[in-house]
């Protein structure tokens, strides 16, 4: 198409660049002008018709790929899938979150000559699918993630997982007994199928399946707008067999670090550590409960008791228990009502042994005991 437009522009430029003919060659020049003008006119008409045909062709492909078919109670398959073996139709999860599953099969390579070397032609269909997945899942999609031999791509919505068959999606937390699935093909060439989970008359998108008969197909056969609109539709949240939400604080046996364990109503468990410098909880690996202290408060007392020492307080003139925390020596007193240890600052006991005695004002400020919050 670019070559045609370039030819039109060149012909128009040639028509504009003319010289004044002489009297003797007037007839010849006139005939040449008529001939050139006629050929340029037909060339322009040809280019316009070709441009219109080009636009109409791609519009036809676009509307053909966006046509919604009637919903069915059973999933359908493109005609070319009937020639595949059952083993080739089994989906395999890829990635860490399990949202994407694929199936692969062999195909005949298309070779092109570039710079005198035969190389495999590009695969627009596969490249489009990689771009769509990268935007939906927000991860880097490499050739190993979605290989060129991919023929089925299953993308599950939140709270669903892909099954082993195409268009098969399973709700993670179940659903009511009256719920059911419906299926809908998109496009006259059956390249996209959406699975709906119908609960109480409301349809929720469970996932989308993309079918690739030929990886060398043009990009317009997979309309990214439709797929993204389906995947961004409202999520389904189960109200079936909800669990009790729980929150607990435990400590690791290995390093005595505190870990927050939460479980939501759907049974999803998360382990998080609190970072004081960032004032945020960051997720950590989920370890078995045997790796944590079941009663952190009781175990915490044992841990604190190991670090207790006895010293004579120069200010109070009596024997006290001292705990060293964060580079400071603190008075430690057992709180019988709360069943825990309380910590108090002391300017005298916090001084190094070789340091000079503290001032009188510092003693007065610390004469009133105030508990220190260590955590």
85-115 pLDDT per residue, tens = 888 889 999 877 778 999 999 888 888 888 8
Instruction: Give 326's contacts (C-beta < 8 A, 6+ positions apart).
Output: 374
**Closest Cα to residue 262, out of 279, 238, 243?**
243
What confidence category does residue 360 fall into, taking pLDDT thresholds of 50, 70 and 90? Answer: very low
29-50 pLDDT per residue, tens = 544 555 555 667 677 777 877 7
State the Cα–Cα distance between residues 155 and 230, nearest whole angstrom: 11
Task: Write down the residue that tokens 């268009």 correspond to.
Answer: 167
Greater confidence (218 vs 220) lies with: 218
| Averaged confidence pLDDT in the chain | 77
Q: Give the domain ranges of the chain.
A: 2-15+27-65, 79-231, 246-294, 307-365
CB of 261 within 8 A of CB of 269?
A: yes
Which of left, alpha, beta for 345 (phi over 0: left; psi -120 to 50: alpha)?
beta
Q: How deeply is 342 buried, as exposed, middle or buried, from its count of CB atoms within 10 A (0-12, 13-18, 19+)? A: middle
Give the residue-averaged pLDDT of 5-10: 46
CB of 271 within 8 A of CB of 284?
A: yes
Two structure tokens written together for 121: 């032609």
- The pTM of this model reads 0.56
119-147 pLDDT per residue, tens = 888 898 888 889 888 888 777 888 888 99
What confidence category does residue 219 fall into, taking pLDDT thresholds of 50, 70 and 90? Answer: low
Q: What are phi and psi of 339, to 5 degrees?
A: 65, 40
Can you list the positions of beta strands (E) in the chain? 92-94, 100-104, 111-114, 117-120, 150-156, 160-162, 169-171, 180-186, 192-199, 202-211, 246-252, 258-263, 269-275, 280-284, 292-293, 308-313, 318-325, 328-335, 340-345
Half-sphere exposure of 93 (CA within 13 A, CB side): 11
Give the residue-averaged pLDDT of 202-213: 94
Q: What is the pLDDT of residue 2?
A: 47
**Closest Cα to residue 220, out of 356, 314, 124?**
124
State the Cα–Cα distance between residues 20 and 1, nearest whole angstrom: 34
* % of the chain beyond a pLDDT of 70: 71
């Amino acid at each position: 198409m670019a070559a045609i437009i370039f030819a039109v522009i060149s012909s128009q430029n040639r028509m504009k660049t003319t010289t004044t003919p002489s009297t003797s060659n007037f007839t010849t020049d006139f005939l040449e002008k008529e001939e050139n003008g006629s050929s340029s006119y037909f060339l322009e008409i040809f280019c316009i018709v070709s441009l219109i045909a080009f636009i109409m062709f791609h519009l036809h492909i676009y509307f053909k790929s966006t046509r919604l078919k009637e919903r069915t109670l059973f999933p359908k398959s493109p005609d070319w899938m009937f020639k595949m073996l059952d083993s080739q139709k089994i989906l395999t999860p890829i990635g860490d979150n399990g949202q994407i599953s694929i199936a692969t099969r062999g195909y005949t390579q298309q070779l092109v000559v570039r710079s005198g070397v035969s190389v495999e032609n590009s695969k627009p269909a596969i490249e489009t699918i990689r771009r769509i997945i990268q935007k939906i899942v927000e991860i880097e999609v490499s050739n190993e993630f979605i290989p060129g031999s991919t023929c089925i791509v299953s993308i599950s919505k939140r709270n669903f997982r892909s099954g082993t068959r195409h268009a098969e999606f399973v709700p993670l937390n179940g659903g009511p007994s009256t719920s059911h699935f419906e299926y809908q093909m998109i496009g006259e060439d059956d390249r996209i199928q959406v699975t709906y989970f119908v609960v109480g008359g409301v349809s929720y998108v469970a996932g989308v399946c993309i079918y690739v008969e030929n990886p060398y197909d043009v990009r317009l056969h997979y309309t990214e707008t439709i797929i993204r609109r389906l995947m961004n539709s409202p999520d389904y949240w189960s109200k079936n067999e909800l669990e009790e939400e729980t929150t607990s604080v435990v400590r690791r046996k290995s390093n005595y670090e505190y870990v927050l364990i939460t479980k939501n109503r759907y049974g999803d468990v998360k382990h998080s550590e609190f970072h004081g410098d960032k004032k945020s909880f960051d997720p950590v690996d989920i370890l078995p409960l045997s790796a944590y202290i079941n009663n952190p408060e009781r175990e915490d007392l044992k841990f604190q008791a190991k670090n207790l020492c006895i010293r004579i307080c120069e200010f109070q003139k009596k024997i006290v228990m001292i705990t060293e925390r964060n580079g400071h020596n603190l008075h430690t007193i057992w709180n019988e009502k709360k069943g825990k240890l309380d910590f108090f600052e002391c300017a005298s006991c916090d001084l190094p042994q070789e340091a000079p005695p503290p001032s009188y004002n510092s003693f007065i400020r610390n004469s009133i005991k105030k508990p220190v919050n260590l955590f």
